[in-house]
């Protein structure tokens, strides 16, 4: 028996219907915010991801050569492809450009709870604008999406990577070692950061102050402790968020997105119920297009881990109500079998989900199948009834049956 | 500048919105027919496709080894993955199982008009039923989909591969060379088939009769010329199709699906306007599950080439009407900028597509942007007006402006 490859999944109908319904919720929010969808290829030239993340990314890429010896890779995320598509085909469009995307991404890593090799991301990018309003718009949309899905227990934390970068620069860390320090700060590994900083000639008291800075956490009152322009900037972001009804935010200068291209505001949303893999959304403002051969363009974006947010919803006990077939049509005799198809066809044209017996089953067995697929109604076509222009309509919940004039069938089902 | 890999495409918002809208039409038809969606991984164990199509398929696969030295391949089609998923996870579900899918497939071939290396297929499978009703249901759904998209110029041809297989067997072609002959017949390459048949010891007159059989083409009256049980079977299929209002069918015993696993009814839909690459849909009844380690289960399915059917619609001049933003909100002064976000937020909550100026633009420039994104209305927030609980509503088509009480704004836009 062949199975799907390790770390990938089949989504069978019940599960997929639920996922599509939540996907539609996210799409709806993005559209109402004036974002428009973009779709890029499943694979890209591997160079794209190396330019974005450094050569270290190769070890977690599904990389391969095509038959023309080109180095390709399945996309591990969608910001780089979207920015590439912007550089290639949209760079002259009026700014800002508000884009969203949804699709599979691939990472070669050990599968574990909430981590798959094929996983799904829903994300958005605002390209060509660098204002507090831009950042607020992105954060507000992420927050609206999470609320629209019904998730209750989450934490939205906003920081500013510029503050840490500035401090790191001021205390004498060489530019090419900034990323190394930021990675340690991201994971709060102060004990590992300290010897590194010492090695770079950073004074102990400066290291302590840097660590203290990443521990600047709290409500919006903490904004007064954020040094320099970043504090004023974040105050504006928070004010616009408040105007949009988003007030449940935490300020946290310890929010460090892993990648070099983030420049200013950064934010994360976590669902504490998920434990170690609790981050369900991450984003910030960045510049990336110049790496791909375009002009430098400021952008703000975020991505939601779709699999993970669904896991968080499950842990909160959010239940999906399936949309079941409206009706199952079955012929009670061979002579009226074509009528069953004619009537199913009419119900479909009337917009209903109408299934029909295609196996020539006896009535009892057909009705058991109708129950198994959770049809709300069964329409039973009998030779005598159909001769009188009627059919039998059976309520699959109660088992109650009634003769209905064919012309009234759709209306009776809707009632 | 990095571009998307050869044979792949970026779908920018205008194009993608159109594609999503047509995708939704197909989804709607499938759901009304009682089919439910299934999603399988983008890549599979390469063996799956070799089992389905033979080792020759490797040359057109995007195949690669993962870091665990497993042979994987991007899916070139979705029937094999769906049947695998059925064997793995649904084989005990009540039959029939009616599934549909939509997604990317990948073939390493020379890109040309209507052929891409990354292309999109919409398809359906009915698993676990082998009746004329089953085949009629599948064909009727394909026909409904094409009609629902608005395509006018297409040809639906129904054949029966069993007839050709039986004749080929009867005239003495060895079983292991049947596929070779079918391939020639599929392309009507009689001159190439003749020496092959001669070589196998087939008499000239038998070869001629075989060729004549593949030229059995016409309206449903041709059904009387279809030999054996296949004729009776196809008559039933056609009768059920007629009950569902599908009467524009042609019988064509020359319809030969390329693959070994087809067993009975086969059908194709072509759009003549597309020239050489005119096939937009193909399907038939088959058994495949036993190849993947499951029990032998009869199925009927089809796939629609989504890119190609869109090309055919384009050639017919079918025009898509874009759904534009309902409203663009802009602040006429810095002091009321937070109000613009508050109001945009309210309009979004009322279900509207509401964009808002995030760049702090002057009014004239903001309105030019609103026109560029084709917003139907602009809402202008002025300090004086907002103090009186009012905003200015501008019709972006006519340029007409009116003061509107804030509480009536959503209603005024909807009117």
Nearest CA in chain B to A71: B5
Distance from CA of B86 to the nearest CA of A (A): 9
The CATH code of the domain that includes B183 is 3.30.930.10
SS3 content of chain A, % helix, strand, coil (to 5): 45, 25, 30
The per-residue pLDDT for range A102-144, each reduced to its tens digit, is 999 999 987 777 689 999 999 999 999 999 999 999 999 999 9
Q: Give the residue from A9, A12, A64 with the most B CB atoms within 10 Å of its CB, the best one to mutate.
A: A12
**Within 13 Å, how many C-alpha atoms sit on residue A316's CB side?**
17
Residue B321 lies inside a defined structural domain of this protein: no
User: pLDDT-based confidence at B331, cuts 50/70/90?
Assistant: very high
Q: Do the domain assignments include residue B141?
A: yes
Residues B306 and B334 in one domain: no
Asked if A77 and A145 sit in the same domain, the reply is yes
- B295, part of any domain: yes
Q: Do A133 and B44 touch (CB under 8 A)?
A: no
CB A122, CB A306: distance < 8 Å: yes
Q: Which residue of B has its CA nearest to A324?
A: B34
Distance from CA of A87 to the nearest CA of B (A): 8
Report the share of chain A in percent with pLDDT over 90. Answer: 82
Domain boundary among A287, A315, A343: A315
CB A244 within 8 A of CB B342: yes
Question: At a CB cut-off of 8 Å and minimum separation 6, what does B69 contact?
Answer: none
Contact yes or no for B32 and A353 at CB 8 A:
yes
Residue A124 sits at the chain B interface (C-beta within 8 Å): no
Question: Closest partner residue to A342 among B68, B243, B294, by Cβ?
Answer: B243
* Mean pLDDT, rounded, for B107-122: 86
Q: Would you call A39 and B10 a contact, using CB atoms and an 8 Å cutoff?
A: yes
Do A359 and A242 share a domain, yes or no?
no
Residues A144 and A36 reside in one and the same domain: yes
- B200 Cβ contact list (under 8 Å, min separation 6): B172, B173, B174, B177
Q: Is residue A4 part of a domain?
A: no
pLDDT at B148 over 80: yes
Q: Which of B118, B243, B244 lies closest to A41 in CB terms? A: B118
Q: Do B74 and B55 contact (CB within 8 A), yes or no?
A: no
**Contact yes or no for B337 and A20 at CB 8 A:** no
A244/B contact by beta carbon, under 8 A: yes
Chain A contact for B133 (CB, 8 A cutoff): yes
Q: What is the DSSP letter of B94?
A: P
Residues of B in contact with A33 (CB under 8 A): 348, 354-355
Residues B308 and B376 in one domain: no
Using a CB–CB cutoff of 8 Å, tell me whether A5 touches chain B: yes
Contact A112, A1 (CB under 8 A): no
Residue B289: closest C-alpha in chain A: A1
Pairing of strands B118-127, B155-160: unpaired
B4–A88 CB contact, under 8 Å: yes
Closest CA relative to residue B292, chosen from B90, B125, B92, B84: B84
Q: Which phi-psi region, left, alpha or beta, contains residue A323 (left: φ > 0; alpha: ψ -120 to 50)? A: beta
Strand partners, B127: B97, B299
How far is B171 from chain A, CA to nearest CA, in Å? Answer: 34
Check residue A258 and give its pLDDT: 67
B1 touches chain A (CB under 8 A): yes
Radius of gyration (C-alpha) of chain B in whole angstroms: 28
CATH of the domain at A406: 3.40.50.800
Q: What is the largest CA-CA distance in chain B?
A: 96
Q: How far apart are CA B308 and CA B105, in angstroms?
A: 13
Question: Are B294 and B342 in a shared domain?
Answer: no
Q: Which of B292, B315, B338 is the last residue of a domain?
A: B315
Q: What are A160's strand-pairing partners?
A: A265
Could you identify the residue written with the tokens 């633009």?
A: B361
pLDDT at B77 over 70: yes
Note whether A213 and A167 are within 8 A (CB): yes
SS3 A101: strand
In a domain, B322, yes or no: no
- In A, residues 18-37, which contact B (CB 8 Å cutoff)? 20, 29, 31-34, 36-37
A385, two tokens: 């009834």
- Nearest by CB to residue B1, choosing from A88, A325, A352, is A88
* Nearest by Cα to B344 from B363, B328, B364: B328
Kindly state the helix (H) or strand (E) to which residue A377 belongs, with its residue range.
strand A377-381
Query: Could you tell me if A335 and A381 are in contact, meaning their C-beta atoms sit under 8 angstroms apart?
Result: no
Q: Which residue of B has its CA nearest to A11?
A: B39
Beta strands in A68-137 (DSSP E): 71-74, 97-106, 118-127
Six-digit token pair at B363? 């009014």
Are the Cβ atoms of A87 and B1 closer than 8 angstroms?
yes
Res B307: pLDDT: 96
Residue A349 class from Cβ within 10 Å (0-12 exposed, 13-18 middle, 19+ buried)? Answer: middle
pLDDT in tens, chain A (415 residues): 889 999 999 999 999 999 999 999 999 999 999 999 999 999 999 999 999 888 888 889 999 988 788 899 999 999 999 999 999 999 999 999 999 999 999 999 877 776 899 999 999 999 999 999 999 999 999 999 999 999 999 999 999 999 998 999 999 999 889 888 988 998 889 999 999 999 999 999 999 999 999 999 999 889 998 878 899 999 999 999 999 999 999 999 999 876 678 889 999 999 999 998 899 999 999 999 988 989 999 999 999 999 999 999 999 999 999 999 999 999 999 999 999 999 999 999 999 999 999 999 999 999 999 999 999 999 999 999 999 999 999 999 999 999 999 999 999 999 8
Q: How far apart are the first and last CA of chain A?
A: 47
Give dist(CA A83, CA A121) in Å, integer. Answer: 16
Asked if A47 and B129 come within 8 Å (Cβ–Cβ), the reply is no
Instruction: Give pLDDT, residue A10.
Output: 98
- In chain B, which among 178-217 make CB contacts under 8 A with chain A? none
**Do residue A133 and residue B74 have CB atoms under 8 angstroms apart?**
no
Domain membership of residue A116 (yes or no) is yes
Nearest residue of A to residue B93, measured between CA atoms: A372
Same domain, B389 and B270: no
- Please tell me which of the candidates B40, B131, B133 has its beta carbon nearest to residue A10: B40
Are residues B21 and B61 both part of a single domain? yes
Give the helix, strand, coil percentages of chain B, each rounded to 5: 45, 25, 30
- B245 contacts in chain A (CB < 8 Å): 342, 345
A-chain CB neighbours of B11 within 8 Å are: 38-40
- Rounded to whole angstroms, how far apart are CA atoms B129 and A375? 19
Q: Search chain B and give the residue with CA nearest A237.
A: B338
Residue A125 three-state SS: strand
Q: Is A87 inside a domain boundary? A: yes
Q: Cα(B30)–Cα(A13) distance, rounded to whole angstroms?
A: 13
Out of A2, A44, A344, closest to residue B47 by CB: A2
Together in a domain, B307 and B402: no
Q: Are residues B131 and A352, on separate chains, in Cβ contact within 8 Å?
A: no
B6 belongs to a structural domain: no
State the best of A20, A34, A140 to mutate against chain B, taking most chain B CBs within 10 Å: A34
Task: Verify cis geometry, omega within 30 degrees of 0, for the bond prior to A96.
Answer: yes
- Residues A352-381 have pLDDT tens digits of 999 999 999 999 999 999 999 999 999 999
Closest CA to A292 of A53, A43, A38, A39: A53
In a mutagenesis test of the B interface, which of A19, A341, A346 is the best target, namely the one with the most B β-carbons within 10 Å? A341
pLDDT at residue A187 in the model: 86
A90 and A135 fall within a common domain:
yes
3-state secondary structure of B358: coil
Distance from CA of B352 to the nearest CA of A (A): 6
Average pLDDT, chain A: 94
Number of domains in chain A: 2
Distance from CA of A370 to the nearest CA of B (A): 10
CB pair distance less than 8 Å for B5 and A72:
yes
Question: What is the C-alpha to C-alpha distance for residues B320 and B160, in angstroms, rounded to an integer?
Answer: 37
**Domain residue limits at B214:** 13-315
Strands B298-305 and B279-287, bridge-based pairing:
antiparallel
Domain final residue, candidates B286, B315, B344:
B315
Look at A348 and B33 and tell me if their CB atoms are within 8 Å.
Answer: yes
Q: Are residues A255 and A379 in the same domain?
A: no
Burial of B276 (0-12, 13-18, 19+ CB in 10 A): exposed
Token pair, residue B353, equals 């597509």
Do B286 and B372 lie in one domain? The reply is: no
**Which residues is B283 bridged to in the sheet?**
B267, B302
CA distance A253 to A214: 5
pLDDT at position A52: 87
CA distances (Å), origin B74, targets A326, B49, B69, B116, B224: 37, 10, 16, 14, 44
Look-up: residue for tokens 């599950």?
A: B289
Q: How far is B343 from chain A (nearest CA, A)?
A: 8
**Can you give the three-state secondary structure of A206-254, one letter per residue?**
HHHHHHHHHCCEECHHHHHHCCHHHHHHHHHHHHHHHHCCCCCEEEECC
Cα separation of the two ends of chain B: 47
pLDDT band per the 50, 70, 90 thresholds, residue B186: confident
3-state secondary structure of A56: helix
């Amino acid at each position: 028996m062949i199975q799907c490859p390790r770390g990938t999944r089949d989504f069978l109908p019940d599960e997929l219907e639920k996922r599509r319904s939540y996907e539609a919720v996210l799409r709806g929010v993005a559209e109402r915010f004036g974002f428009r969808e973009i779709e890029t290829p499943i694979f890209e030239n591997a160079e794209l991801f190396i330019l974005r993340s450094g050569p270290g990314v190769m070890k977690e890429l599904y990389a391969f050569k095509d038959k023309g010896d080109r180095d390709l890779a399945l996309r591990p995320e969608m910001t780089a492809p979207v920015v590439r598509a912007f550089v290639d085909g949209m760079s002259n469009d009026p700014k800002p450009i508000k884009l969203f995307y949804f699709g599979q991404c691939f990472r070669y890593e050990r599968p574990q709870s909430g981590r798959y090799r094929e996983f799904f991301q829903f994300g958005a990018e605002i390209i060509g604008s660098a204002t507090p309003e831009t950042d607020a718009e992105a954060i507000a949309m992420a927050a609206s999406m999470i609320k629209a899905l019904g998730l209750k227990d989450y934490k939205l934390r906003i920081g500013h990577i510029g503050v840490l970068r500035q401090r790191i620069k001021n205390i004498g860390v060489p530019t090419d070692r900034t990323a190394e320090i930021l990675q340690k700060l991201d994971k709060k590994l102060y004990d590992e950061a300290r010897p590194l900083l010492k090695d770079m000639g950073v004074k102990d008291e400066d290291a302590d102050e840097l660590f203290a800075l990443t521990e600047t956490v709290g409500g919006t009152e903490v904004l007064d402790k954020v040094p320099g322009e970043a504090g004023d900037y974040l105050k504006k972001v928070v004010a616009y968020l408040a105007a949009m009804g988003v007030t449940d935010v935490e300020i946290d200068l310890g929010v460090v997105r892993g990648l070099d291209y983030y420049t200013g505001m950064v934010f994360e949303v976590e669902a504490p119920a998920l434990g170690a893999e609790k981050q369900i959304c991450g984003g910030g403002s960045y510049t990336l297009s110049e790496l791909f051969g375009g002009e430098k363009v400021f952008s703000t974006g975020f991505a939601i881990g779709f699999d993970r947010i669904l896991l968080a919803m499950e842990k909160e006990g959010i239940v999906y109500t399936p949309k079941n077939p409206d009706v199952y049509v079955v012929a009670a005799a061979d002579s009226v079998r074509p009528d069953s198809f004619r009537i199913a066809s009419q119900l479909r044209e009337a917009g209903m989900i109408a299934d029909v017996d295609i196996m020539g089953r006896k009535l009892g067995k057909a009705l058991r199948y109708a129950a198994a697929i959770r049809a709300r109604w069964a329409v039973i076509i009998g030779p005598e009834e159909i001769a009188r222009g009627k059919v039998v309509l059976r309520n699959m919940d109660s088992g109650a049956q009634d003769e209905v004039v064919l012309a009234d069938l759709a209306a009776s089902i809707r009632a």
